[in-house]
Structure 1
Amino acid sequence: MGGELFFRTEDIRQDEILGYLVETPTDRDLIEQLKGRSPVILKGSRGVGKSFLMRAAEAEIKNNFTSRRILPVYVTFARAGLIRANAPDKFLLWMMAKICNSIIRAASSAGLTLPGGSTIAAIRGGGSPGTPSKMEVVEKIFEDSWKNSGEAPLPAIVPDPEVLKDAVEDLCLHANLNRIILFVDEAAHVFIPEQQRQFFTLMRDLRSPYLSIKAAVYPGATSYGDSFQPIHDATVLIVDRSVTDHEYAAGMREIVFKQDPDLRKIIEQNGEVFDTLAYAATGNPRILLKTLDRSKPFNRRNAQEVIRQYYREDIWSEHSGLTERYPGHRDLIDWGRQFIEGHVLPKLYETNKGRKSETQSHFWIHRDAPQSIKEALRLLCYSGILQEGVSGIRATRSEVGTRYMVNLGCLFSLDAEPVSFGAKIRQHLSIKRFPEFGANHSAYRPISKLSLENISTGGNQALESQLQKSSDLLDITEWQKQRIRDLGLSTIGEVLAASEEEFMKAHYVGPKRARKVSNAAIAAVLEYLSG
């Protein structure tokens, strides 16, 4: 196989993003809405392409900056999990500081002259030329709080949302901007509902004619709070590459060819095998690229072994591993796995084995099922084992509920011949029939009375425990893991604290490669910490 594949958007340079864009009509619609005026919540599980779509929208806006006068500002909240939870307002102050710094940097990069008024001074926080601004120091103090048990004094007062809105308006009027679009990636920690509520409240408070916020969230992030109503305060968009689309397989091939054109010949020689891998990924480019990379040399035998290994073991290991990081969610996580492996998948497999048409990969849950059941299923959507359900679906006796789709790879992997079985499933896949689980199904009993109010969010103790875990757990390439081992960075905390200069000490790692390894490692750490 050819060169190294990019599993994450963070590994692709901003000026290269559009070169890797494989545009479907759905993707184009999502990008256009991300470039529009209205607030957007972009929802999807890990690896489906939320960050990529945001970066693509940002790149297109930058390309038309001179004529459209819209300033894109990209900011990631991936470090939210590092904020110590011993003060309720700390996360809000960190968000404000990070947004202020991101706007100032984006304006400076665009060559804009910043007005000298008091509101701009407030979001800068002051500071001498050539040195970090006070607001940048504030941001770093919060992000480094995981290293320190004490409270560091803040060098500046963090502005409130009204001050930031005034500063954005002043900047737009002074620089002849139509508006600023703020792309917030990893908008809130999926396992800390209080962070979610604070973010969505801030998103509502910052809305103005001059500032439009687009936020990427996971399917599990549902704690919007009392003041934010998704239907009224934003447009909710789902990142979903439908496997029933006639162009699905071709689109997934193009994603691979864009990254490594040398793979075209071997993939076209093994077309059915590749298509099975593509459908097994169920619309998730990262999973496709990871399983393809593991299948080298690419052939039927290796691909089938990877399907069995990844979808029977690895994807479930990642989901069950969440219990170690967030023990308060253990009952929900464990029940979700038992429900899918013990009830849903066996029913679907037996049904599909006996069918020559209308194969199934969906199931249905009654709308009156216990809330704990719905929460467990949302965590499975977060892990990519399920696709987020379509509500309001009628089933037997006209009962109403939600239809979920099981990751096709989990279904393919049950058969001794995943490629042949996968071809049968994908060629006749239907959404019309599905196993039904009523409001009081016996499978619900283990967690039917679980109180969601008692679920622990983990807090500082969980964070400190995660930082002590082995760096071998990080989702990076084996070459990158070896460089980290060479440096003696044995724990996740040590990787997070390492500088680019330290990565340069590894064998065969120069300045450019050091930054690439550092970025990949830090991105993997932050994703691991976020769940």
Structure 2
Amino acid sequence: MKIIETNSVPNEEYSALEQRADYIPAADLISETAPDSEIFRSVLRALLAPSLKTIVGPRGCGKTHMMRYAWITCLNDQTKPFAVYVSFNKYYRLEPLLVSRASPPDEFHAWSLGLVILATYGSLDFIGKGNSDVPQLETTFGLQKSKLESLIAALERNQPLSPEEVVLSRLITVTKVQQLLEAASSIAGRKRTVLLLDDAALTLTPAYLIELLDVVRALKTSTIAPKASVYPGTTEYSPRFHTGQDSTDVFVWTSVEAEEYATSMDQIARCRFLDFDQLPREIIEIFRFAAFGIPRAYLTMLQAFKENPSKYTQSKVNQVIEAHLSARLAEFRSLSTKVPKLAHLLSTGEQILNGMVKAIKDSNVNRDIVQLTVGVPKEDLTPIVHRMFQLLIEAGLIFDAKEVKHGTPERIYRRFIPHGAALLNNRALTSNDAGGTLKSTVEAIHARRAKHPIRKKLEKYVDVPSALGELDFALPPCPRCGEKRVNETQKFCVNCGTQLVAVSTFDACMNVQIEKVPGLTEFQIRQMKNDLPQLQTIRDYLAMQNPVAELLTVYGFGRRRSTRIADVLLSFVDDFLS
């Protein structure tokens, strides 16, 4: 269990379990993994298979953890393929190149393929071949590690490339990377390579996403098998990349109704919390259900419960679940800032979620059989409505329980389960129990399920039924006359001719007010306003040459607290633009 501790202050808790697999050292990842669950084994088999796979799932479901686990186990086992793990989570730093450079796709190719080359050198270094064989590869292919690092740094900082870096960027081709991977695999004594491409869903820069998926498809050979992790909702595939033909989807998310759900989630928690089995069983049952199949959420809630100062168990549980649900909804709503065109889909999607929770609550009044599932007629799921549901799935707010047929003539319904925390927060499982006690909640979680889902037209779940018929992408209007845009690629207003500026996710993030960043306390915000009035936005923070030193000038801020605030702000940027 990884604990990060900083100075404690009144009404603040700074102990935090490290749930993100990105930050867990490789040496600890294996011991903190529960590999015996069926979902884990099936995904691991897909990651090691000699074919192109897209690993699909919402944030926090374990895609990164599984990829890094596969990478480490491959390199430690001579009988497994050679593995290369690459993360593209800093792709947003290249977004400004789309408007400032003449050939952004070429520079993006150099960046993405450069990362693959550096990761290949890193895998060889991991198995002890770094000092002897990597220099030989650098010489053979003319791709020096230090020069690649300088090129990537220059691209991520939007700096002009030197003549030497321009030449290097043109040397990096798909063919050369394939040849290098083949050579590295041979050095490692392996017959084939699995290329684990994490955070490949470049959802905030569709132009780059299309380019990357083309690169992924091009890298595939009989001995090189790329695996790309993507999201179910915001990932827009290239016209040349066809899931089902070029790749096979592997869904990484366990339903709360799955037989192995409790065992799998508890195995994960037991690896991270040494005192897990000492926690009250009712608490474990409730948080496991509220986590809704997302391991990171389960760990976060267990940690929050342990740190909550309240003396009353019921109150602590309610506070933790409410805070978790609020955070999930805030993350879902934030997509409208990151991808403005999705604003209408997001607002209507939240209405759908609330309507489903209410329908389940109404259905569970005075019943011994608990209803969890809502059925939507398949004909209601038009392409734009389907996209809306995919966004809800990506945020982990509803689970797709697939299709079912009912009635004569047969009608096909798509079944969905709303988020467990939303059901618990609204007491939708225990409608006949005004108090919603821990005991009655656990009994409802384990109660026999209704045979059939709630079956209603989709329009029954929204406040204004016509909203579904009007559902469409939201594009920013002309800043001069307010005329609506026709499409995303439109350059000039059709009404007044004003040049239209593309909406930048990067700029939207930079303009976020510091006081709006989640994770900062009222005390911290107040002190920063008083002593650092120039620190207004994320842009202001990133412009500081030494942010921690600046924070140390604030009254009441020591080094640990300043470091903690810096971590919160940088994590916000990473999460916003990931």
Residue of structure 2 in register with 1:104 after alignment? 121
Distance 2:406 2:365 in 1: 23
Query: For residues 258-273 of structure 1, what are the structure 2 equivalents within 5 Å?
Result: 258-265=271-278, 267=279, 270-273=280-283
Q: Which runs of 5+ in 2 are unaligned?
A: 4-14, 428-434, 476-485, 490-500
- Asked if the contact 2:377–2:411 (Cα under 8 Å) also holds between the matched residues in 1, the reply is no
- Asked if the contact 1:39–1:233 (Cα under 8 Å) also holds between the matched residues in 2, the reply is yes
Cα deviation, residue 354, structure 1: 3.2
Residue 113 of structure 2 aligns with an amino acid whose one-letter code is M
Residue of structure 2 in register with 1:525 after alignment? 573
Cα deviation, residue 240, structure 1: 1.7
**Deviations 1:54-73 (CA, angstroms, capped at 9, x unpaired):** 11111211221xx2363322
Q: Measured at CA, do residues 105 and 59 of structure 1 come closer, stay the same or move farther in structure 2, by a change above 3 Å?
A: closer
Residue of structure 2 in register with 1:408 after alignment? 420
- Asked if the contact 2:520–2:568 (Cα under 8 Å) also holds between the matched residues in 1, the reply is no
- Asked if the contact 1:500–1:515 (Cα under 8 Å) also holds between the matched residues in 2, the reply is no
- The correspondence for 2:395, drawn from 357, 364, 383, is 383
Residue of structure 2 in register with 1:73 after alignment? 84
- Asked if the contact 2:62–2:252 (Cα under 8 Å) also holds between the matched residues in 1, the reply is yes
Q: Measured at CA, do residues 78 and 121 of structure 1 come closer, stay the same or move farther in structure 2, by a change above 3 Å?
A: same
Q: Which runs of 5+ in 1 are unaligned?
A: none
Residue of structure 2 in register with 1:352 after alignment? 364
Residue of structure 1 in register with 2:315 after alignment? 301
Residue of structure 2 in register with 1:292 after alignment? 302
Query: For residues 58-457 of structure 1, what are the structure 2 equivalents within 5 Å?
Result: 58-64=71-77, 67-68=78-79, 70-84=81-95, 85-86=98-99, 89=105, 90-112=107-129, 113-114=133-134, 116=136, 120-122=140-142, 124=143, 126=144, 132-133=146-147, 135-145=148-158, 154-155=165-166, 156-158=168-170, 159-173=172-186, 175-265=188-278, 267=279, 270-295=280-305, 296-297=308-309, 299-311=313-325, 313-341=326-354, 343-367=355-379, 369-387=381-399, 389-396=400-407, 397-415=409-427, 416-417=435-436, 419-420=438-439, 422-428=441-447, 430=449, 432-438=451-457, 443=462, 445-452=466-473
- Asked if the contact 2:82–2:188 (Cα under 8 Å) also holds between the matched residues in 1, the reply is no
> Which moves more between the two structures, 75-84 or 288-297?
288-297
Q: Measured at CA, do residues 374 and 205 of structure 1 come closer, stay the same or move farther in structure 2, by a change above 3 Å?
A: same
Instruction: Report the secondary structure of 1:74's partner residue.
Output: strand
Q: Is 2:468 the partner of 1:468?
A: no
Cα deviation, residue 409, structure 1: 1.2
Cα deviation, residue 213, structure 1: 1.1
Residue 191 of structure 2 aligns with an amino acid whose one-letter code is N
- The correspondence for 2:24, drawn from 3, 9, 12, is 12
Distance 1:455 1:420 in 2: 53
Residue 492 of structure 1 aligns with an amino acid whose one-letter code is I
Residue 88 of structure 2 aligns with an amino acid whose one-letter code is F
**Deviations 1:285-320 (CA, angstroms, capped at 9, x unpaired):** 111222223322582321123223432x33222222
Distance 1:353 1:442 in 2: 18
- Asked if the contact 1:200–1:224 (Cα under 8 Å) also holds between the matched residues in 2, the reply is yes
Which structure has the highest helix share of the two? 1
Q: Measured at CA, do residues 234 and 143 of structure 1 come closer, stay the same or move farther in structure 2, by a change above 3 Å?
A: same
Q: Measured at CA, do residues 521 and 183 of structure 1 come closer, stay the same or move farther in structure 2, by a change above 3 Å?
A: farther
> Which moves more between the two structures, 486-495 or 204-213?
486-495
Cα deviation, residue 40, structure 1: 1.8
Distance 1:364 1:152 in 2: 57
Residue 283 of structure 2 aligns with an amino acid whose one-letter code is V
- Asked if the contact 1:280–1:412 (Cα under 8 Å) also holds between the matched residues in 2, the reply is yes
Cα deviation, residue 52, structure 1: 0.9
Cα deviation, residue 496, structure 1: 5.6
User: If the length of structure 1 is used for normalisation, what is the TM-score?
Assistant: 0.83
Q: Measured at CA, do residues 191 and 426 of structure 1 come closer, stay the same or move farther in structure 2, by a change above 3 Å?
A: farther
Distance 1:427 1:355 in 2: 14
- Asked if the contact 1:119–1:166 (Cα under 8 Å) also holds between the matched residues in 2, the reply is no
Distance 1:29 1:191 in 2: 29
Cα deviation, residue 143, structure 1: 1.6
**Deviations 1:346-398 (CA, angstroms, capped at 9, x unpaired):** 111111223211422343341453222111111111211112x2544324442
Cα deviation, residue 187, structure 1: 0.6
- Asked if the contact 2:84–2:196 (Cα under 8 Å) also holds between the matched residues in 1, the reply is yes
Q: Measured at CA, do residues 118 and 17 of structure 1 come closer, stay the same or move farther in structure 2, by a change above 3 Å?
A: closer
